[in-house]
Structure formats: C-alpha cells, structure tokens
C-alpha cells in the first residue's frame, strides 16, 4: 500500500542513489514545500546538502528571521542566507507585467543560487551538482508539464527557468498534493508551524503589487499583510482558510477622508480563500467583525491606504493570486 512512510523510504533511497557522493543545494522559501523537500533530502544525504535562503526583499514581515530560526532549529541543516534585495528590486524596476515579473524573479533566483553554489563549491568537498526544489503536482500540471493542461501562469519553480541552468533538478514532491506534503513533513518531525504553514508564492509580494514593485510599496504591503495575518490568527481562523493573499493596487487610487483631510490613496485587497489543493478555490466567508477589524486597523495604521476591499471570486475564474 501507498503510505507516506513508503514515499519517504522510496524517495530517500532514490535520492541517495542519484546524488552518490556529490552535493546538493536547496533553496528555502520559508514555505512548507521547500522545507519538506529539504528535510527529505537531508534525511537522504545529510551534510551533503546545503540550504540557501535568498532574501529577495519580497518576503512578508518577520519571515526571513523565522526561516533562520525555526527551520534550522528543527532540522540542524546547514543554511546560507543571501541578502539579494537590491539585486531583485533593480531587476524589477519599471516592470508591471505579471509574467515578466515572474520570469525576472525566477531568473534572478537561479542566478543567485549559482552564485551561492560557486561559493559553496569554493569550499573543500565534492561537486555541487544538484538543485532541490519543492515542486508539487499541481505546479507541474498548471505549468503544462503534467497532463498537457494549458500553461496558466509560469510558476517560478517550474517555468521561467533560464536556458543556462547549471544544476540537475531533484523534485521529490513532484507527484504529491499539499496535504500529502504536510503528512510527510509531520512524519519527518518538522514542527507544526512549518507543517501547517499556509502557502506563499515563490515570487512573494512581487506578484501581490499590481503595478511596479518598489521598496516603499513593499514596506506598505508588508504592514497591511502583517495586520491581516495577525487578526486572522487572533480570530483562530488560520486552519479554516487555505491562504489569504493581501494585494496592493498600486496603480489604483481613490478618494477618501482620513482625519480632517481629503486623501487620495491606494486600495488593499483581501483575498481569503478555501481550497483543497489550490487547483480550485472558493472565497472564504470570513466573519464580518474580523473583516471590519482588519479594515479599520489597515486604514488606521497604514496611512497610504484609504480603502480595503474583499475579493469574492472563486477559482476559476479568478486565480488565487492576482498576478
């Protein structure tokens, strides 16, 4: 029978054989997918794995610190943190097209890994030939790599890879759905906060700003997102929703009145969804009082935002992310 224990054993054996005495690197995104993929590969090859965390400046508030602390504490994995914020923001300057943003972020990710690899290779030891990725079955299908489904978005960890990719890929979760990945994480002894982490896209807040991505806009969105997450957690709703993207409509402005003056600010969109596997989704019927608290706090605490709107679209036709 097909159990998570079997999957782990099979993958561990396969990874060991594939990697041999070479080394692998794995990009940690902070999400459950890359964490479980890394933990699985670490179980297989131990210190032959080095994890790399790219701080692309598109993460949510506190997320980088959480990866550095929680994941390392849980697994004892070797972690290299690369601060690449400036590089990503420079590459994204002036870009507004969603697919172009995704391609740029995917490309820069690989470049930064290659740089990190060069540094790791410069250490003593065997060659680093493999790159571990937490690609799931739905990612494969949606990128047209699975059953021939049309390419909907080029997910950065599947499509959008540059031609000059220098690694062989290890994708141990490629046949699995999210709930199965969580079971594997649990089986591998990862802490609850990691195993039950809501999904967050690789391109991060870069695809949650409709319009050009700038540091100022990111900081503003980070504040709004942190408020929404805080209130959802306080209301005990984390397990009821699949995820709740918070989106900044940077190219839209509307008139408001705050304090004793007219404002001309930006809207924030709340996109709470319920889903089984992200292939389809429905908008979450959140309690009105929770929505009200989020709205009041965001407009009070983030001065550039004067309006909070709720996305009530299912998937299809709307995707979960706005870009």
Binding ligand XMP (rule: CB under 6 A), the pick from 55, 180, 223, 321 is: 321
Q: Which stretch binds ligand XMP (CB under 6 A): 54-62, 67-75, 152-160, 250-258?
A: 152-160
CA distances from 3 to 116, 246, 276 (A): 36, 36, 19
Binding ligand XMP (rule: CB under 6 A), the pick from 157, 263, 284, 299 is: 157
On whether 34 is known to bind a ligand per the annotation, the reply is yes
| CB of 265 vs ligand XMP, minimal distance in Å | 26
Q: Between 185 and 214, how does the x/- string for binding to ligand XMP read (CB under 6 A)?
A: --------------x-xxx-----------
Query: Please, is 288 exposed, middle or buried when counting C-beta atoms within 10 Å of its C-beta (0-12, 13-18, 19+)?
Result: exposed
Instruction: Find out whether the peptide bond into 317 is cis, omega within 30 degrees of 0.
Output: yes
Q: Map the footprint of ligand XMP across residues 93-122, applying CB under 6 A.
A: 102
| CB of 181 vs ligand XMP, minimal distance in Å | 12
Select 102 or 293, whichever has its Cβ closest to ligand XMP: 102
CA distances from 212 to 189, 306, 309 (A): 40, 19, 20
Instruction: Find out whether the peptide bond into 316 is cis, omega within 30 degrees of 0.
Output: yes
Binding ligand XMP (rule: CB under 6 A), the pick from 43, 60, 155, 266 is: 155
Q: Are strands 128-132 and 23-28 parallel, antiparallel or unpaired?
A: parallel
Select 149 or 233, whichever has its Cβ closest to ligand XMP: 149
315 binds ligand XMP (CB under 6 A): yes
Select 153 or 174, whichever has its Cβ closest to ligand XMP: 153
145 binds ligand XMP (CB under 6 A): no
310 forms bridges with which residues in the sheet? 270
Q: For residue 323, which of 93, 150, 160, 99 has the smallest C-alpha distance?
A: 99
Cα(258)–Cα(303) distance, rounded to whole angstroms?
9
| CB of 5 vs ligand XMP, minimal distance in Å | 26
CB neighbour list of residue 35: distance below 8 Å, 6 or more residues apart = 28, 71, 134, 185, 190, 194, 197
Contact 135, 146 (CB under 8 A): no
243 binds ligand XMP (CB under 6 A): yes
On whether 33 is known to bind a ligand per the annotation, the reply is yes
Select 18 or 141, whichever has its Cβ closest to ligand XMP: 141
User: What tokens were used for 30?
Assistant: 């902070």
CA distances from 255 to 258, 273, 307, 309 (A): 10, 28, 9, 14
On whether 20 is known to bind a ligand per the annotation, the reply is no
Known binding-site positions: 29-35
| Residues binding ligand XMP (CB under 6 A) | 102, 153, 155-157, 199, 201-203, 243, 278, 315, 319-321
Annotated binding site for ATP: 29-35
């Amino acid at each position: 029978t097909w159990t998570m224990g079997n999957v782990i054993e099979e993958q561990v054996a396969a990874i060991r054989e594939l990697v041999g005495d070479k080394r692998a690197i794995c990009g940690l995104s902070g999400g459950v997918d890359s964490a479980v993929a890394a933990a699985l590969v670490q179980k297989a090859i131990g210190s032959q794995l080095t994890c790399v965390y790219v701080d692309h400046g598109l993460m949510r508030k506190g997320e980088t610190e959480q990866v550095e602390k929680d994941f390392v504490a849980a697994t004892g994995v070797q972690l290299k943190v690369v601060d690449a914020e400036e590089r990503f923001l420079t590459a994204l300057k002036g870009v507004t097209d969603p697919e172009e943003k995704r391609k740029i972020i995917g490309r820069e990710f690989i470049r930064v890994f290659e740089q990190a690899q060069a540094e790791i290779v410069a250490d003593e030891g065997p060659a680093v030939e493999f790159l571990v990725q937490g690609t799931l079955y739905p990612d494969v299908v949606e990128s047209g790599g699975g059953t021939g489904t049309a390419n909907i978005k080029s997910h950065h960890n599947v499509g959008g890879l540059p031609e000059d990719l220098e690694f062989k890929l290890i994708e141990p979760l490629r046949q699995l759905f999210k709930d199965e990945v969580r079971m594997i994480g649990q089986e591998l002894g990862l802490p609850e906060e990691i195993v039950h982490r809501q999904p967050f896209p690789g391109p991060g807040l870069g695809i949650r700003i409709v319009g050009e991505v700038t540091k100022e806009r990111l900081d503003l969105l980070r504040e709004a997102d942190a408020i929404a997450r805080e209130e959802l957690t306080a209301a005990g709703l984390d397990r009821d929703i699949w995820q709740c993207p918070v989106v900044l409509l940077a190219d839209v402005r509307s008139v408001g009145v705050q304090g004793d003056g007219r404002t001309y600010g930006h809207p924030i969109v709340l996109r709470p969804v319920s889903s089984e596997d992200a292939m389809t989704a429905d908008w979450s019927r959140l309690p009105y009082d929770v929505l009200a608290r989020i709205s009041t706090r965001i407009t009070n605490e983030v001065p550039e935002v004067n309006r909070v709107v709720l996305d009530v679209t299912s998937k299809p036709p709307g995707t979960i992310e706005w870009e």
